[in-house]
Structure 1
Amino acid sequence: MQSKSLLCHFFLGLLLLSSPLCRAHNLHSKKTLEKITETNTISLGYQDDAFPFSYVENKQPAGYSIEICNKVVEAIKTKLKLKDLKVRWIKSSTASQFVLIKNHATDIMCIPAFYSEARHQKAEFSIPYFFSSTRFITRKNNHTDTIEDLAGHSILVKSGTIYVEQLHNINRTNDLNLNIELDNNNRAAFEEVQSGELPALVSSSAILKGMLALSPEPDSLEISDETLSPPIPAGLLLPLDDNEFKSFLDETLLSLITSKDFTALYQRWFLSPIPPKAINLNIPMSADLKALTTTTAKYVY
């Protein structure tokens, strides 16, 4: 009887090991490049509301961050000697991006992940491919020039972004009594400001410019001259504790950023008309990003 019981336990163990849950756990315990090789698939996160970085065009992810991720995919195919690497696109948001990376649902988040020390505790960041200050957008008839002019009012900010932390610090330091309202979608938040429901929305200068360019009434709104932060680096979001993948991504991005192709890539998204609406954001390359294009030294946060 005892040998029969041990035999049953043995077969039960084999059954558990072959279950989907166990296989998923085994994949998650592997390093990223090893997992990609084994599954012949890479999972990439995207947003649909972060023009011109990550949005949807013709039912496909598009944007500056998406194009950079596509180039990373080509580099991974070459490194791993894969003829046909399948790409699984997973819709994300700033609120869910860290959960998706932590749970290995995505291998890379192809959205502008702006750096902070607190965020770096949750996920790894690649070297930057963009720098942007924080500003706010408001209706012109509000006559709002500075953050102090918004004291005592409600301000919109997208949940899960670095701007939530920034606003709380500004609010506390300057005793502004701001009521910080959270929204899950940039477009919905922008519409609340455009309609006059709320006075201001805080975000990256570049994303605010993108939202303004897409607006049917751009002349009724303005982006603040006042910056709420110095230029902040934005990188691709990666899993923690995978130094091999981090090093490979950084080397790939540095090779791209220091190449002649990068200038053309940047001009295509920020200094040229973006199809199909021919929107030209006219955002010159920042001094910080220019410095990266001429160096071979590794960027350190």
Structure 2
Amino acid sequence: MFRKLSIAVAAIAFFAVSNTGNAAELYGTLKKIKDSGQIVMGHREASVPFAYMGPDGKPVGYTVELCNRIIDSVKKTLKMPNLKVKLVPVTSQTRIPLLANGTVDIECGSTTNNLTRSKQIAYLAVTFITGTKLAVKKGSGIKEIEDLNGKAVGLSLGTTNEKAIKRIAKVKGLKIKYHMVKDHPQGFLALVTDRVDAYATDHSLLAGLITSSKDPSKYEIVGRFLSYDPYGIMVRRDDSAMQLLGNTVLADLMRSGEINKIYDKWFTKKIPGKPAVQLPMSSTLKVAFEVQALPY
């Protein structure tokens, strides 16, 4: 499936930075930040290893680190080294509305970039590529979505995973029981306690949930990819200055190769409060970084 994604990623990179503008112009998000004296970061609380609450009670993770690099650039651009950073937890249901209505200025989590959502918000460059898979208990006999016929699956509300599973089930005529949850820990708990036969979400998030569980040896990720989910940091629509600032930071990290080190830090080594996820960078993501490392 991912053999075709390099072209798609290149296209996403083009559209992600096609809106240009002078980051020094004070309008939109940058003007709001300057006037209020603070930038508001919306973050997930349990999307390991992208954005989750660390041992000290503060959000940490791969996407959070990238967002902090962007915030550092905002401070430099606005000449506000002591800019206050306000942290606001978001969920899969609240992340887009809170960004669109101005409550948060940047969303740092595990959000799939798609055209439907782009009608409400904008995305920066692709920072991760994943897809929907199934987490099951070993020995369940479930290997593909077709094996869920007559069984129950946990789905997080408002996610692309929910849409993917329901769409495929409808096309194939599968009778699957849907157990809707508010977040990933709740969905995985439903699997642990046998309220569902599988929990479906992005394979990277499933890896984090399993490695963080009490007994990872009891669970496995199975099946083919059921969706294509390129992740991106969200900012508000029609704000070319903020988009350019964010994409410049990300392009610099990709061009220098520093983003590879950041990735390894969060996906291949022990992370704060959690064991190592052990998810080496895919060849598709490497290509994505290469094609998005735009020159000056």
* Shared fold per TM-score greater than 0.5: yes
1:166-214 CA-to-partner distances (Å, cap 9, x unmatched) read: 1121112111122222100211110110111111111011100000001
% identical aligned pairs: 25
- Whole-angstrom distance in 2 between the partners of 1:89 and 1:112: 16
- Whole-angstrom distance in 1 between the partners of 2:159 and 2:227: 14
- Give the deviation of 1:260 after TM superposition: 3.1
- Give the deviation of 1:82 after TM superposition: 1.1
- Larger of the two Rg values belongs to structure: 1
2:139 counterpart SS class: helix
**1:53 alignment counterpart:** 50
Report the CA distance shift for 1:254/1:101 in structure 2 as closer, same or farther (over 3 A): same
- Give the deviation of 1:296 after TM superposition: 5.2
**1:95 alignment counterpart:** 93
Aligned with 1:203 (options 201, 204, 222) = 201
1:128 counterpart SS class: strand
**1:121 alignment counterpart:** 119
**1:223 alignment counterpart:** 221
- Whole-angstrom distance in 1 between the partners of 2:160 and 2:202: 9
- Give the deviation of 1:287 after TM superposition: 2.1
Aligned with 1:290 (options 251, 261, 286) = 286
- Whole-angstrom distance in 2 between the partners of 1:268 and 1:132: 18
- Whole-angstrom distance in 1 between the partners of 2:44 and 2:185: 12
**1:150 alignment counterpart:** 148
Aligned AA (2:224): E
1:131-163 CA-to-partner distances (Å, cap 9, x unmatched) read: 112101011132101100001222111111111
2:116 counterpart SS class: helix
1:82-125 CA-to-partner distances (Å, cap 9, x unmatched) read: 12111000011011101101110000011111122212222111
**1:10 alignment counterpart:** none
1:114 counterpart SS class: coil
Bigger RCO (CA 8 Å, 6+ sep):
2
Note if 1:83 corresponds to 2:46.
no
1:221-256 CA-to-partner distances (Å, cap 9, x unmatched) read: 1111422124x2100011112122112211221112
Aligned AA (1:223): I
**1:250 alignment counterpart:** 247
**2:237 alignment counterpart:** 240
- Give the deviation of 1:53 after TM superposition: 0.6
Aligned AA (1:52): P
Per the normalisation by structure 2, the TM-score is 0.86
- Give the deviation of 1:262 after TM superposition: 1.5
Task: Select between 72-81 and 217-226 the one with higher mean Cα deviation.
Answer: 217-226
Matched-pair contact (CA < 8 Å) for 1:238–1:246:
yes
Gaps of 5+ in 1: 1-29
Report the CA distance shift for 1:297/1:218 in structure 2 as closer, same or farther (over 3 A): closer
- Whole-angstrom distance in 2 between the partners of 1:147 and 1:201: 11
Matched-pair contact (CA < 8 Å) for 1:139–1:196:
no
- Whole-angstrom distance in 2 between the partners of 1:263 and 1:238: 23
- Whole-angstrom distance in 1 between the partners of 2:226 and 2:292: 31
Runs of 4+ in 1 over 6 A off after TM superposition: none
**1:135 alignment counterpart:** 133
- Whole-angstrom distance in 2 between the partners of 1:276 and 1:245: 32
- Whole-angstrom distance in 2 between the partners of 1:241 and 1:75: 20
**Aligned residue pairs: how many?**
267
- Give the deviation of 1:297 after TM superposition: 5.8
Task: Select between 38-47 and 248-257 the one with higher mean Cα deviation.
Answer: 248-257
**1:273 alignment counterpart:** 270
- Whole-angstrom distance in 2 between the partners of 1:99 and 1:171: 28
